[in-house]
Amino acid sequence: MYWLLNSSIGRKLIMSITGVCLVLFLLFHMSMNLVLVFSAEAYDMICEFLGANWYAVVATLGLAGLAVLHIAYGTWLTLQNKQARGADKYASSNKTKTEWAAKNMYVLGLIICLGLVIHLWNFWYKMQFAELLHLPDAVSEGSGLVIALFSCPAYSVIYLAWLAAIWFHLTHGIWSAFQTLGLNGRTWYPRLKIISNIVATIIMIGFAVVPVWFTIIGLFN
Amino acid sequence: MEKVINITVKVWRQKGPKAKGGFEAYKLAGISGDTSFLEMLDILNEKLISEGQEPVVFDNDCREGICGMCSLYINGHPHGPDNLITTCQLHMRHFNDGDTITVEPWRSAAFPVIRDLTVDRQAFDKIIQAGGYVSVNTGGVPDANAIPISKIDADEAMDSASCIGCGACVAACKNGSAMLFVSAKVSQLALLPQGKVEAAARAKAMVLKMDELGFGNCTNTRACELECPKGVSISNIARLNRQFLKAKLSD
Ligand code: HEM
Ligand code: SF4
Ligand code: FES
Distance between CA atoms of residues A144 and A139, nearest Å: 9
B63 lines ligand 3 (CB under 6 A): yes
B:11-30 residues touching chain A, CB 8 A cutoff: 12, 23
Answer whether B195 touches A (CB < 8 Å): no
- Find the B67 Cα to ligand 3 centroid distance in Å: 5
**Which chain A residue is nearest to residue B244, measuring alpha carbons?**
A9
Q: Which residues of A fall within a CB distance of 8 Å from B106? A: none
Angle at B109 between CA B107 and CA B110, to 5 degrees: 100
Give the per-residue pLDDT at A140: 77
Those residues whose C-beta lies under 8 Å from the C-beta of residue A151, and which sit 6 or more positions away, are: A214, A215, A217, A218, A221
Residues with CB under 6 A from ligand 1: A 12, 15-16, 19-20, 22-23, 26, 70-71, 74, 77-78, 105-106, 109-110, 112-113, 166, 169, 173-174, 176-177, 180; B 219-220
Q: Which ligand is nearest to the CA of B233?
A: 2
Residues of A in contact with B22 (CB under 8 A): none
* Cβ contacts of B3 within 8 Å, gap of 6 or more: B32, B33, B92, B93
Q: State the distance from the centre of ligand 3 to the C-alpha of A100, rounded, in angstroms.
A: 31
**C-alpha angle A2/A8/A12, rounded to 5°?**
95
Quick check: A206 pLDDT over 80? yes
Check whether B75 has a pLDDT greater than 70. yes
Per-residue pLDDT reduced to its tens digit, A74-85: 999 999 999 999
Determine, for residues A86 and B109 on separate chains, whether the beta-carbon distance falls below 8 Å: yes
Which chain A residues touch B if contact means CB-CB below 8 Å?
3, 6-13, 77, 80-81, 83-86, 88-99, 102-103, 105, 172, 175-176, 179-186, 189
In this predicted structure, what is the pLDDT of residue B1? 60
Cα–Cα–Cα angle for B22, B23, B25, nearest 5°? 150
Instruction: Tell me how far the alpha carbon of residue B91 lies from the centroid of ligand 3, in angstroms.
Output: 13
Domains and CATH numbers, chain A: 2-86+96-220 (1.20.1300)
Chain A closest CA to B155's CA: distance in Å?
Answer: 13
CA distance B15 to B172: 24
Contacts of B225 (CB under 8 A, 6+ apart): B169, B180, B231, B232, B233, B234
Question: For residue range B27-55, what is the model confidence (pLDDT) as tens digits?
Answer: 999 999 999 999 999 999 999 999 999 99
Nearest to A199 by CA among A30, A52, A63: A30
d(CA A68, nearest CA chain B) in Å: 19
> Which residue segments constitute the domains of chain B, with CATH numbers given?
4-104 (3.10.20.30), 121-249 (1.10.1060.10)
For chain B, percent of residues with pLDDT exceeding 90: 93
The complex scores an ipTM of: 0.94
Residue B143 pLDDT level (bands cut at 50, 70, 90): confident
Q: Is the pLDDT of residue B220 over 80?
A: yes
Reported confidence tier of residue A53, pLDDT bands at 50, 70, 90: confident
Residues in A touching B119 (Cβ below 8 Å): none
d(C-alpha A16, C-alpha A181), whole Å: 7
